[in-house]
Structure 1
Amino acid sequence: MLIKRKIKYGMVGGGPGAFIGAVHRMAARLDGLAELVAGAFSSSPERSKQMGEELLLDPSRVYGSYEEMVEKESKLPEGERIDFVSIVTPNHMHFPIAKAFIEAGFNVVCDKPMTNTVEEAEELCRLVKKHGVVFALTHNYTGYPMVKQARALVRKGVLGEIRKIVVEYPQGWLATLLESTGMKQAVWRTDPSKAGVSSCIGDIGSHAENLARYITGLEMEEICADLTTFVPGRKLEDDGNILVHYKGGARGILYASQVSVGEENNLRIRVYGTEASLEWHQENPNYLQVRYNDKPEQVYKRGNGYLEPEARAFVRIPPGHPEAFIEAFANIYRSAIRTIAARLAGEKPTEIDLDFPTVQDGAIGVYFIHKAVESGKKRCWVNVEYTPPC
């Protein structure tokens, strides 16, 4: 990196028992570029203190609220205070926390979806520009090397003109009313006051939308969504099937489900062009299939020298040694951290370092979620053309 120290970060959320907070911490420290020095890990000051003790943090840097954290970290000198904050709370808290830290001049890494409303998302876009901070959104599936290889092949024209995109994200963990047992992850994801207007599309359909857009570069023009709540007593949808018309004429199918019994985390995408097609599976992420009508199928494997530079840049170990979820998550963090370091050094980040989802990607995702819910309620096609504030 361009500065001679580790980047310091703090975390809001991710307290005792939280799944995603631990994932973020593993990802942030994987490359040795950043160190966790502060946090407000829970809305409960006692639980925040407990988490700080478990992480062996200085007690003076473990806070009872994010407001206290913003106030006290802002008073510390540069090099001692945090360089960025990682926000890993339930959805409804993303906006006020991000807003507070951005307005105080801190860089932000935030879990998705970015906010619960389009208005909040657009305000964050404007605040990021006003305060000149780095904002990274952890759509972590774009961090996989073979996803980056897929995008490179599309950009090179290997597939020809894109005609069809099929992206699906089935899970089965909410096939019963799990939230009624008090299971924390199920409770907030199905609660409109915390998750927002959507559960299934907001939680995992947004990943599918982002993955398709990242690989193909295509923007949605209109969608027709069929959203269903299968489990009696559930307040938000748990299954979604969406037809997509893309700008330029391509067609798509986006399917997301939390009630597909037997499925674990089976995100996959198929992209069909006039010359070739490709397929990638998140549960088998080190391989990318490319198929033709007139020659044998090609299988690209992670870590090999024949991959495109933008894919090779995000590989850590030689071929045959699997890399997966944590490494892909860490690639988002590495790019964001290197960009922050370049900014601190007064240098321009490289194109590779800037390869992470931005605040504008977050706004597009939030807009998609709301339009999918609108289409599902109206049972008709709705226009989804959208340009977020820059």
Structure 2
Amino acid sequence: MNSSESRQLVEMAKKAGVVNAINFIYRYYPLVRHARSMVQRGDVGEIYHATGSYTQDWLFLPTDWNWRLVPELSGESRAVADVGSHWCDSVQYVTGLKIKRVCAHLHTIHKTRMKPKKELETYAGKVLQPEDYEPVPINTEDYACVAFEFDNGAVGSFTVSQCFAGRKNRMFYEISGSKCSLVWDQERPDELWVGYREKANEIVMRDPSLLTPDARPFAHYPGGHPEGYPDGLKNFLWRVYTAVAEGSSEWDFSTFEDGHVEMAIVDAVLQSHRTKQWVEVTY
């Protein structure tokens, strides 16, 4: 898919008047909502810059294989489209800003991968013999580094890698503001680090009694009982099906429009890599 096709989906959904949604799941973690509320009420101040990464190791080995490695199935971009899109959506959601332009470099670590010759059960690749594979050239990125500028003039950068040993799904970002900074790590979802210049830093723990009113409904258990990925999915589905049941036109979940925003960023990243220059994101 590209941004032209995603724009068509947005227009088709609007014309049909149907509820439409895309699962940018990290929006629905309580502390992500709390961070967004802090920005909205002015606690963070003017946004200066944002940095971070999304790192995984599920394609670390040249024998790791998945349909996402096939451009005809997954698209021209892999790591940026697959996980970079979640990073960009989450940071834009928290800050309320939009990525305006990008400068990107993409890198393929395993330019040839070994594809199993037949369908296998999960993890069966660990017992395959060399003759059970066939070499396949790879032309999508394992790694990317992207510098960007927000629409308010703030700047930032992020990296993504699917060949980072030991990192499973570490989406991490730091948001620097004129009053404080916010740091959140998806693999430690119940903690939000808040940094200050002239007083002690804080770690906000996920506890409904401590969260902002907007974030509180998304925390379903008392403090000390962990909530994570399955709960984020639960929160997403709760909001979508509530909109369907109530026939509401005021949605507080990610829609096709948000998906189109990410596709536009991906297209700009690809163009920037090809041209070796800054590229404006065309929404």
- When normalised by structure 1's length, the TM-score is 0.65
**Displacement over 6 Å in runs of 4+:** none
Q: Which has the higher contact order (CA 8 A, sep 6+)?
A: 2
Tell me if 1:362 matches 2:259: yes
Check whether the contact 1:167–1:212 (CA below 8 A) recurs between aligned residues: no
2:19 equivalent to 1:122: no
- 1:334 is aligned to 238
Q: Does 1:273 find its partner at 2:177?
A: yes
Quick one: distance in 1 between partners of 2:51 and 2:85?
A: 14
Q: In the alignment, what sits opposite 1:31? A: none
- Match for residue 187 of structure 1? 66
Alpha-carbon shift at residue 340 of structure 1 (Å): 0.5
> 2:33 aligned with 1:148, yes or no?
yes
CA distance in structure 2 between the aligned counterparts of 1:147 and 1:120, rounded to whole angstroms? 29
**Percent of aligned pairs with the same amino acid:** 33
Q: What runs of 5+ residues in structure 2 fail to find an aligned partner? A: 113-137
Give distance in 2, aligned partners of 1:231 and 1:374. 22
Equivalent position of 1:372 in the other structure: 269
**C-alpha deviation, 1:259, in angstroms:** 1.1
Alpha-carbon distance in 2 for matches of 1:357, 1:177: 35
Q: Which residue of 2 aligns with 1:205?
A: 84
Work out the CA distance in 2 between the residues paired with 1:326 and 1:370: 30
Partner letter of residue 15 of structure 2? Answer: K
Write the letter of the residue equivalent to 1:217.
G
Summarize deviations over 1:84-133 as a string: whole Å, max 9, x none. Answer: xxxxxxxxxxxxxxxxxxxxxxxxxxxxxxxx121211111111111110
**Does the residue aligned with 2:163 lie in a helix, a strand or coil?**
coil
- Count of equivalent residues: 258
- Provide the alpha-carbon RMSD of the alignment: 1.2
CA distance in structure 2 between the aligned counterparts of 1:382 and 1:304, rounded to whole angstroms? 42
Q: Work out the CA distance in 1 between the residues paired with 2:187 and 2:87.
A: 14
Which letter maps to 1:266? Answer: R
Aligned ranges for residues 39-54 of structure 1 at < 5 Å?
A: none
Q: Which residue of 2 aligns with 1:135?
A: 20
2:145 and 2:53 map into 1 onto residues whose CA distance is 9
Tell me the CA shift for residue 385 of structure 1: 4.5
1:254 Cα deviation from its structure 2 partner? 1.3
Q: Which amino acid aligns with 1:153?
A: M
Residue 125 of structure 1 contacts residue 359 of structure 1 at CA under 8 Å; is this kept in 2?
A: yes
Whole-angstrom CA distance in 2 between matches of 1:203 and 1:120 = 17
Q: Distance in 1 between matches of 2:63 and 2:66?
A: 8
3-state SS of paired residue (2:54) = strand
Asked if structure 2 preserves the Cα contact closer than 8 Å seen for 1:288 and 1:299, the reply is yes
The one-letter code of the counterpart of 2:220 is R
- 2:26 partner letter: Y
Q: Encode CA deviations 1:214-234: one digit per residue, 9 max, x unaligned.
A: 110111111100100011212
The answer to whether structure 1 residue 302 and structure 2 residue 199 are counterparts is no
Q: Is the aligned partner of 1:229 residue 2:108? A: yes
Task: Map 1:69-148; keep pairs closer than 5 Å.
Answer: 116-148=1-33
Paired residue secondary structure (2:83): helix
Name the structure 2 match of 1:90.
none
Distance in 2, matches of 1:335 and 1:377, equals 39
Any unmatched runs of 5+ in structure 1?
Answer: 1-115, 180-185
2: CA distance between counterparts of 1:306 and 1:143? Answer: 17
Q: Which amino acid aligns with 2:82?
A: D
> Is the Cα–Cα contact under 8 Å of residues 224 and 376 in structure 1 kept in the other structure?
yes
Whole-angstrom CA distance in 2 between matches of 1:235 and 1:312 = 44
Distance in 2, Cα, partners of 1:243 & 1:118 = 20
Measure, in 1, the Cα distance between the counterparts of 2:157 and 2:35: 18
User: What amino acid is aligned across from residue 178 of structure 2 in structure 1?
Assistant: T
Contact 1:168 1:254 in 2 (8 A): yes
Structure 2 contact 268–282 (Cα < 8 Å) conserved: no
* Per-residue deviation, 1:158: 0.8
TM value normalised by structure 2: 0.88
- The aligned residue for residue 382 of structure 1 is 279
Structure 1 residue aligned with 2:144, among 226, 230, 240? 240
Q: Which amino acid aligns with 1:206?
A: S
Which residue of structure 1 aligns with residue 99 of structure 2? 220
Q: Structure 1: which amino acid aligns with 2:40?
A: R
Where does 1:277-292 land on structure 2 (aligned, <5 Å)?
A: 277-292=181-196
**Alpha-carbon distance in 2 for matches of 1:226, 1:304:** 41
